[in-house]
Structure 1
């Protein structure tokens, strides 16, 4: 698990290779990731947008951005957390992701960016 804190928002990421949804013979490697977002700040925040940079070990870089996460723009009260699971496919058996969330402070009425730490996407047999 990797973790980072930006402006009072703690982001933790866990990954798991999805062998049953992968097809290495066709260069299709599927990974799931779980993100835990903990609001350590004094104010309620809302996750408005996400932006991802996805890296394959063959040099391919993809950018993905959009509103919210998994179809929602969650409000996270001070001291609370929000978790979700999503997925990513790669054409190689090693890659990584990093990115940021655009959050909105609901009390101060201002937006700010929160870093998502870079995390590795590696099929288990590559770790032997």
Structure 2
């Protein structure tokens, strides 16, 4: 939710996911996924990513909540018309899951706002119909 309606929220978040079979051990209930996120600034002001908030849910409805500064050790500044891409990972106890969340951002005017990370599925290729 954007606490300040005057703050631009023209931050777009795109996600791709990959199941990592070489690190997954299904018989031990370990399913590893890599996800690549591209954050694009489509607004008139630059913005710095301050922190992240993830909600990760597996198919058994177990929920993990992850909060922390930056992403992959960085707090990138994204100028208008620019984008920032990073890759990270998650481990689930079930074969499939769902992730969503938000990034807390600060624009050039010092206003803080949340940029939504739309929900995305974590599904291995053999489970896609």
User: 1:27 maps to which residue?
Assistant: 29
- Where in structure 1 are there 5+ consecutive unaligned residues? 1-5
Task: Give the Cα separation in 2 of the matches to 1:10 and 1:40.
Answer: 7
User: 1:87 maps to which residue?
Assistant: 89
- How is 1:60-71 mapped onto 2 (pairs within 5 angstroms)? 60-71=62-73
Larger fraction in strand: 1
Q: CA RMSD in A?
A: 1.0
Q: Deviation digits for residues 72-105 of structure 1, max 9, x if unmatched? A: 0000111110000000010000101000000000
- Where in structure 2 are there 5+ consecutive unaligned residues? 1-7
- How is 1:70-81 mapped onto 2 (pairs within 5 angstroms)? 70-81=72-83
SS at match of 2:122: strand
Cα deviation for residue 125 of structure 1 reads 1.6
Alignment pair present for 1:50 and 2:48? no
SS at match of 1:79: coil
Task: Give the Cα separation in 1 of the matches to 2:113 and 2:9.
Answer: 8
User: 2:11 maps to which residue?
Assistant: 9
Task: Give the Cα separation in 1 of the matches to 2:128 and 2:38.
Answer: 25
User: 2:118 maps to which residue?
Assistant: 117
SS at match of 1:19: coil
SS at match of 1:46: strand
Number of equivalences: 122
Runs of 4+ in 1 over 4 A off after TM superposition: none
In the superposition, the TM-score normalised over structure 1's length comes to 0.93
